[in-house]
Structure 1
Amino acid sequence: MTYIPALIERASPTGVFNGTPPDHLPAENGLYVWRTAVAMPFVTFFFVMLRFYTRIYILKAKKYTIDDYIVALTMLVSIAHSVLMAIATYNGMGLHIWQYNTELNSRYYLWIGITSEFYALGLCGFKSALLIMYIQLFGVYKRFRWTCYGTLFFCVGYLFCNMMTEFLGCHPISKKWHPEIPGVCINSTIAATFYGACSMASDLIIAILPLTMIWKLQVATTRQKIGLSLVLSCGFISWAIAVARWGIATFNLVGTTDRPWWAGISFTLSIFEVQTGLICACVATLAPLWKLACSHVRDWTGWSSHQSTKVMTWPSFVRKPDYTQSSGDTKKSGGHWARANNTIGGHGNPAGRGNHMTSYADTTLNASHDDEYDLLGVSEWHSHTTREDRSQRSVDV
C-alpha cells in the first residue's frame, strides 16, 4: 500500500473532515487522558518526596548522587508532559475521526508533536536514574558495569533520535500540522514501530539486570533475595505498560482509520509509562524507610518476643540495643553501632579492583559512597553472621 506522507491522511483515508466537534472538550477518550494527566503527577510526586525524605532525614546523606538530580528533573518533565497532555485533550485528542474538522486536525497534530518531546525526555530520565543506581550498587562487577553503560547509551541514543525524528520528521516542520502545504514527511508508521520496540527492549533489560546480581549474593538469604528482586525489578511494570502501548499504537497506525480515538488510549498509557517508571526509580530507594516503619510496628505491637530476633531486624540507621559482637565486624561508639568499612565499591576498594574470590567482608555490595541507599541491608547481614561463616563464604567477582 502506497504511503501518503500527508498527516491528514493518517487520520482519514479521504482527508475530508466534515464532522462537528463536541461542544465541550475533552470528550470521548480525551476525558480519560485528562483525568490521568491530572491525577498521576500527584501520586508520583508523593513517591519522589518519600525518596528525598529517606535520603535527607533517615540516611542523613551529606550530598546528593547524580540519580537524585535526574529524578528531580524528571519529575518536572513528567509534570510538564502531563500538563501538555491535558491541554491536548482540548485540541481533539481522543475524539472519533468523524468528529474532526480541518482546523481541529491541525491543532491535534501540533500538540501531538509537542507532548512527544516531553514523553521522550521523561522516558530517558527514569531509565537513566535506574541504570545509574544499578551502577552505584553493583558497579564493582566490571561486566555488569559495562552492560549498564551500554544500556544507558542505547536508551539515550534512541530517545534522542526519537526526539529529533519527531521534531524534524517533516520538511518544512510546519507540514506536520499543516499537511496541505508542499513538502515531505518520513514514514511515521515505521518510525513509531521502531522506537516502540526499542522502548520495550530497554525496559525489559533494565528490569532483568539487577536480578543477575541479586541472585549471586552469597551473603543474603533467599527471603532477602526475593525482597530485593521485587524492589529492584519493579521496572517490569513499565515494561508491561510499554508493551500494551506499543500494541495499541501499532494497531492505531495500521489497523484502523479511527486513529485519534485509539490514540487517546495510547497516550493515556504513555502518561502511566512515564509516571510509573519514575515511581519505580523511587521505590527502589525506600528500603530504609520501610525497615524503619517495620521496626516501629514491631515495637508498638510487641510482635517480636525474643530480644535476639528483634536485634536482627533493626535497620542500620536506627540505634541498636546493646549486645555482644565479635571485633572486626562492627564497632560500638557513643552508644551507637557503626558499620564496618569492609566494602567493595567503597573508598577502601575501587570499583572493578577485586580478587576473583573475595571473603564475605569484601562482598557487602554497596554504593560507591558507603551504600548511599542502604538498600542492600549490609549491616543487618553483619549483625547475625559469625566470623567463621564469613571466612567460608565467597562470591565470584
Structure 2
Amino acid sequence: MQEISVQTAWLTLLRAPGLGSKGVRALLALADGDVCRALERARCDGRALGLAPRTRDGLRRPDSARLEADAEWLARPHQRLLCCTDADFPPQLERMPDPPAALFVVGNADLLLRPQLAVVGARHAGPVGRRHAHDFAAALAQRGLVITSGLAEGIDAAAHRAALEVGGGTVAVVGTGPDLVYPRCHAALREAIAEQGAIVSEFSPGVKARPGHFPRRNRIIAGLALGTLVVEAGLRSGSLITARLAAECGREVYALPGSIHNPLARGCHRLIRDGARLVEDVEEICASLVPLARAQGADLAARLREEVPVGPEEPVAALQRDPVYADLLEALGHDPVTLDTLRERSGLSPPALSSMLLRLELDGVLVSQSGGRYQRVS
C-alpha cells in the first residue's frame, strides 16, 4: 500500500462518510494513536471492524480532489488542523461526551487553551438582550476570559463584537466548513475574528450549513468553555441545548433573568428553575470562574511540563521561585511583548507558554493587551 502523510491520513478519515468523531477516535485507539496505522487498519479490516460499506469505500477510494483542496487550505497562513493527538489539543474537550477528533482552526489556536466563557442566546434578540450580551462580554473579556460563541445573529454577534472592541480574545465555533461565511451578513465580523481571535470548525472545508450541524457545533462551544452564559432564549432556542450540554460536561451554567412578559426570557427562567445560576452582574460570574480558570491553567501546566502544581499559599511568590517561570519573566522584560516573541525568547511550546501566561495573569503578575501582547505589572 502506498505510504501517505499524517496530514493526508487525517483528512481521509475526517472526510470518510459515516465515520464521525467517535469512529475516528475508535480507529486511533486500535492503532495506539498512530493515524496512518489507523487508516491502514480501517482499509484492510473495515468489514471486520463493522464499518459501513460507504465508509469503507470512502476510506479506500477518497475524493482526491477534495483532499488536495483541503491540503491547499491548510497550507495558507494561520490555518491549521488541530488533532486530538496534538500536544496543544484543548484538554477540556476530552472531558466531554463525544469529543471531536480534530478541529479546523483559522487564526490563533492558542486561544483554545485559555479559559473561556460561552455567551449564547437568541438570534432575534431585542435591543436590551444585545446590550446585556455586549456589556457582559466586554467586561469579562477585559478580565482575561476568552468569549466563545457561535457567530449567529443576535446575542452571538453582540458577544463577539464586544470582545473585539475591548481587544480581548474571542472564538467562533461554526456549523460549516472553516472557509465559509454563515450567515453571509457576518462576513466582516468573521474576518475580524480570524484576525484577532479564532474560527473553529469540526467540518472540513467547503461543507455547507445543515440543520444537524448546529447541535454538534453547540456541544463544542459548551465543551471548550468553563461556563455558559445564556442572555436571552425562547423555550425552543438552540441556546438551551448548549446550556444542557454544558451542564452534562460539568461546566457552570449562568442565565440572565428578564421580564415575565418577554418570550425570549422564558428559556432563561426555565434554566434558572432547573438549577442554572441567576446572575445580575459580571462579578458574580468572575467569582465562580476565576478559581476554575486558575485550576485549568495549573492542570495544563502540570500535564505539559510534568510539574507539581503551585499550592494556594503565596501563589505569586511560588511562581516566581520556579526556575521555568523565572526564565519566562526574564523573557517578558518590562515592555509589551507579543506571543511570538515570547516563544522565541523562552523556547517554550505554545501550550506550555499559554498555560504559564494564564497563571501569571490570574495572579496579577502580568496583563494581556490588545494585539496579543503581554506586559509585566511591575
Whether these two folds match at TM > 0.5 is: no
Q: Considering fraction of residues, name the structure with more helix.
A: 1
TM-score using structure 2 length: 0.24
Q: Considering fraction of residues, name the structure with more strand.
A: 2
